Chain A
Amino acid sequence: MRPSLSAFLSGLIFAIGLGLAGMTDPANVLGFLDIAGDWDYRLAFVMGGAIAVHAALRPLIHQRAQPLFAARFPSFAASKPDAKLLVGSALFGVGWGLGGYCPGPALTSLATGAFPLLIFVPAMFAGFYLAQVLQARSGVGADASRPGAPHVGATPAP
């Protein structure tokens, strides 16, 4: 296996997991968030199942000195929650509650070419971009705030 294949497979398995779990239908998501209505508790088991598997496998993976195709495992600064984390997460939650889509299911559903995603996904990318511009301007950890920054020291979670 090569790094490109593993990345592709990981995305593929992720999408199939989302679809089987019911996350690609916003009606399920909104039903899960509607605890005051006829609460649909099923999606709690998606996060539960994902955390159970990943939390069990992580320690085994970290027994290795390094990943199969990379120099090192990600490292995380032991920083506390800050305003940026909480404000960002709060806004994300509002958008999630309005549309019923978070980024993974939105991108997976984009493959169907369904009309709502042709609006939602470009708007989401505009949001990604705005946040990056804002952070680059304010200069507050413009680089450290990029989860994707290639192993330049420790980055905040995740």
Chain B
Amino acid sequence: MTSSILLPLLGGALIGLSASLLLLANGRVAGISGVVGSLLAPVRGDVAWRVLFFAGLLAGGLLLAWLRPGSFPAPSTPSAGGLWLLAGAGLLVGFGSRLGNGCTSGHGVCGISRGSVRSISATLTFMATGVLTVFLVRHVL
């Protein structure tokens, strides 16, 4: 049990460290939906750091795929129904996180670390609907 929570703890600590670095150096909140989503409505002088953060995420993904491929699920061929589900899920994640001003990182990590009531409410809300959705999909439908 101890070993099974060690990596999640370590990974979480790295995420906290990353958010701290971005705050210390760039004075920014490491909320992924905001950092990357704002690139769709770019503001002069506010683009480079977003692109570089995004590039860092992709570089990290490549590094993981190279050194620790088990970080990702084994390749599979989804069904046609699976494709629509993925598209719908992506649309909801993008729309919802932007409308709600943040996702797991911006609200769940940065906002809660700050003790923000808005972020705590947001996190409780998306946790609740996430749990409810999985419950419906796995145990009811």
**Chain A interfacial positions (CB closer than 8 Å to B):** 1, 3-27, 30, 33-37, 42-55, 57-58, 61, 64, 66-74, 76, 79-81, 84-99, 101-104, 106-112, 114-116, 119-132, 134-135, 145-150, 156-158
Contacts and interface: CB of A to CB of B under 8 A. Distances in A.
Contacts of B131: 33-35, 97
8 contacts: A14-B60, A53-B12, A61-B24, A88-B99, A111-B57, A145-B101, A156-B118, A157-B119
Contacts of B62: 111-112
Given A15-B60, A48-B12, A49-B11, A157 B102 contact: yes
B19 A50 contact: yes
Contacts of A12: 56-57, 59-60, 63
A97 B65 contact: no
A46 B21 contact: no
B16 to A, nearest CB: 3
Given A53-B20, A94-B92, A14 B14 contact: yes
Interface in B77-112: 77-78, 82-83, 85-112
Contacts of A20: 7, 10-11, 14, 68, 71
A42 B63 CA distance: 23
B135 A19 contact: no
B62 to A, nearest CB: 5
Interface string B68-79: 100111011110
Contact of B14 (A13, A51, A115): A13
B138 A37 contact: yes
Interface residues of B, number: 117
Please give me the 6 A-B residue pairs with the lowest Cβ-Cβ distance, nearest first.
Answer: A127-B94, A11-B56, A15-B60, A21-B11, A88-B100, A49-B12
A6 B93 contact: no
B54 to A, nearest CB: 6
Contacts of B40: 125, 128-129, 132
Nearest to A122: B90
Contacts of B132: 93, 97
A71 B26 CA distance: 9
Contacts of B125: 86, 89-90, 93
A95 B56 contact: no
Contacts of B117: 80-81
B134 to A, nearest CB: 4
